[in-house]
Chain A
């Protein structure tokens, strides 16, 4: 029983980092219907930027973090403004290819600049101190990640529901022509969406960095986060978080009881199964195109 609970808790903590990446992808997909493969590498650039500030320039932690989040906001805006907006008659395939291209550019740039070896992020909270609750161990970093996910999710929910900008984003997604007629600058809203999403992804990157920090560090969270978002329906924020926790838990239970070897692929098997039953994910209403 303790084993089981420990595995579930581990699943939730792993799921938290997937959830952040999933949230970031959902935010962009909600407004612009672009599955953003560059999300992970945008986070990677933010993480290495923070590392550079802390390591090479010796800036204090708070200042570095705040400037990193600002940087990631501008990075997101910049990518949208300079590249995504310029796409001619964008199709889904075209957008996927552009974001994959961006991903390769950013990753190539980071690995060129910093090399492929593992870096140590100077970070006060590590994955090696743990808190014991009952008989269950959670590292402080994982606790922090869970907390951040909760806060972010509630914050985003309030933002999308009550703030003017959030409602404008929803409006742009539902019908961008009508939104423009109502006086919303759809382009600018999209740009800000990218910025926000980039910040959420960047936070994920910063929280993963103390455990593993090398140019490939964001691939696994990105793919799992994407899978989680797809499972939740790609347009639903709670869906993405739920999907992420579900994936994390299933993965850990599978690893514990069935086979540790296939742990990393079980997520994708679950995804394919879920999509076979509910093609639009668990939380999105299935939309049938009418002629």
Chain B
């Protein structure tokens, strides 16, 4: 969008003083967040931060490499379960178990990436979708993973700190999210990231230019799965209890929706999409308690619909958001932002 005059302008983290200012403001806000808001909002923030990690990972796969995955709940589950298993069975500390769990997820991502080399479009969709469904089914049948009963998370102790509530956990989650965002942002600017983008835009052309498709496609799957694995490991500690049912197909669909709504192929877009949709998701779970709108919906449901199914309005809303974003702005919220910026940049001309 902005004119880039040389390579270093493209790779630098902050393009101007304004960006530095807003970055600093965001950091202060994030640091002060637990003191400003109630406990519930801290929990919401944790939930959103975890979704941000997954969505950025998924965006590397879908938005930058141009592959598709409807099985990210599977990687999420693998991350969550293997982190807990490493902690309880092998007595590893959390900060070791979390990356190890994510590496297990990345290994599965690599394995799924192998058949994905030859597949595209609906074929790849069904393969990844099948993977996601299979993982939750298999986990539910294995005794080590607690079967259908699920697993409780062990106590979370890092050095001298005992992270037993949302507030103390918040800083850990936000710090890890921050690292993952910066890593993704830098990755895209490197040789690897440019290879991903080349594969997305024209894979045959990329291959003739010397981009190793086998290597980079599987790498993209592995990195994406790694992100989902890290997020899964953290998510287990937000819920404090995990069972296979949580990691459903609907979760994979939600992740994909967040990527698409935020904007394909943009880190900021992924963040915005994750924040918006996770927040909506949590709010709409108890839609009837929203003032005014809730009462109106209650009356409407009682007379024309069923009152027991009123929570399904969230599906209608999410579906509509997905459809409308795709119809009117395929680049998502990030695309809208770009258009606004372009318009005002040269205003009044």
Contact = CB atoms under 8 A, between A and B. Distances in A.
A261 B318 CA distance: 33
Given A98-B322, A104-B319, A114-B306, A276 B137 contact: no
A89 B330 CA distance: 9
Interface string B114-139: 01001111110111011101100110
B327 interface: yes
A291 B125 CA distance: 25
Interface string A81-93: 0010011110111
Given A87-B327, A97-B322, A115-B306, A265 B312 contact: no
A219 B264 CA distance: 27
A164 interface: no
Interface in B92-147: 115, 118-123, 125-127, 129-131, 133-134, 137-138, 141
A251 interface: no
Contact of B313 (A102, A106, A108): A108
Contacts of A271: 126-127, 130
A61 interface: no
Contacts of A114: 306, 309
Contacts of B204: 289, 291
Contact of A223 (B129, B137, B310): B129
Interface stretch (A123-131, A169-177, A178-186, A226-234): A226-234
B308 A116 contact: yes
B260 A97 contact: yes
A262 B137 contact: yes
A91 B257 CA distance: 15
A269 B130 CA distance: 7
B142 to A, nearest CB: 10
B78 interface: no
B122 A83 contact: no
Given A104-B315, A108-B313, A271-B127, A230 B323 contact: no
Contacts of A108: 312-317, 319
Interface in A98-135: 98, 100-109, 111-117
A279 B119 contact: yes
Given A29-B122, A276-B115, A105 B309 contact: no
A280 interface: yes
A155 interface: no
A197 B319 CA distance: 21
A43 to B, nearest CB: 17
A223 B126 CA distance: 8
Interface residues of A, number: 55
Interface in B221-279: 249, 253, 256-257, 260, 264
B312 A98 contact: no
A264 B314 contact: no
A35 B316 CA distance: 21
B133 A113 contact: no
A268 B130 CA distance: 5
B320 interface: yes
A87 B130 CA distance: 27
A217 interface: no
Which residue among B68, B118, B141, B314 has the maximum number of chain A CB atoms within 10 Å of its CB?
Answer: B118
A101 B320 contact: yes
A259 to B, nearest CB: 9
Contacts of A83: 323, 327
A97 B257 contact: yes
Contacts of A264: 137
A92 B121 CA distance: 6
Interface string B164-183: 00000000000000000000
Given A275-B118, A280-B123, A111 B320 contact: no
A52 interface: no
Contacts of A101: 257, 318-323, 326
6 contacts: A97-B256, A104-B253, A104-B322, A107-B315, A262-B141, A275-B127
Given A101-B318, A268-B134, 6 more contacts: A86-B327, A97-B260, A97-B326, A98-B327, A101-B326, A269-B134
